[in-house]
A and B are shown apart, each in its own frame.
Chain A
């Protein structure tokens, strides 16, 4: 067991620290309107990428840094310290890129990865449907084989970034099979294709960060299949493993940021001497740290065994529930001021966090995964 950084790791940390100090923007989520916010984050990612800090573990030949998981961890930690915001392409970086690296052809990797890294092309995820939420295999969007292309018809929902995305990771049904997990095909759909319509879905924050996507006779070339036709379930599972694992580490970083902002919030409002507030914030900080350390242990396990396990579900489950508690504490501390205007900067987070336990696997689904795949309990379905 060793948490000391090596000479080269220390050098990388110092370099990142200096760069972030000079370059990190200071705006917060929820500041200003959504479009301006997205433009700022896109520009931020472009800048990060130019400096070589996006896709740290991705292969160099596709625009990544070719670095280690350790470099990624160091970078994450420095992002916390600098209170730096995330890059815009969260879905692409957390899921899209890793799934292309895992299942894509050489041509696909060359085509999709570089513009994903530079935020030139933003990605979104077309999995959930009105009648297929936690039970993904019940999806109804169809992909009809037309020889050299597919014709896609159907509807997806809760799609983050769909209104600005170039690519959608779409799971559609090609054939009906007795086992609903068979006959699915995983397609990368160009969101600029004729027949794609994106309608914003106004959520409880008042923003329209999510969308519905309607596909009407959308032509998708067969060069845009990821993995084998009919074998989309396996590709989708890789996507979700990355969503909850790799993304889990980013979430651990985010929890640390939120915990430190919460402490700052309490200090600013002069509530830091209240013993109950001290207890709560300390507990949140401890849980955020435990979450991060769980991530470190998962990384060590991946390094030793080579595969991310379902333990990633622990990270997502912990983060989503912790994040809700943290925003609740922030609102409590602010008292009635939490209700008006931007609620001292926390109103948006307070509302937004309610989705955390639903998106990317509900807490109920994640507990099922832990119970069944980690503890080996019998399947409930």
Chain B
């Protein structure tokens, strides 16, 4: 119990707005710099050095954006739900800030995944949109993000908004697998034959490396942006506290 207590004490200490502000300020340049390097290297590798796909030619190269964006769209929702749960259970305000800062970023990743998927689908499937299971569940994920953001902006008291959103995110995250599998099931029953789904051969290592670089770059980009947004929110929420006034004075 004692260890648990001291762990919690450490977490509360780290999660206090003042310390978060200080530490995140140091982390952001590192995360941002690494993200920039990874994204540049990954893009160059993916666009110029990865081999041409035997079936799809050069147009497959959009996966280096599309797949990391789709991964992130789900990852960010998990982050939102987890930090929402943390905020509800241990009343750590910072977790609320992380959840609400994540929502627009996650929605942007989801939209990016949908748009790139659609651009990719046009030459491959011959249509901008097909009611493929993955596309559909990605679209529903976008709706879940939009609902989260709409609820947040509708409730005036920021603390009540954060708690309501945390509940919504948890309900959503429990439902995501159910929605995903029901959509998949629906799709296989309705149009398994009409969707010209491409065989997905196990990916070659020369394509996998830039893909993983991009995925890591996306993740670090998210970390950078979420910290920046969270810092702003923390400053705004704590604007009447001494340490924020000291920062303002120092500038």
Q: Verify that A and B bind, or say they do not.
A: no
Q: Which residues of A contact B (CB under 8 A)?
A: none
Q: Which residues of B contact A (CB under 8 A)?
A: none
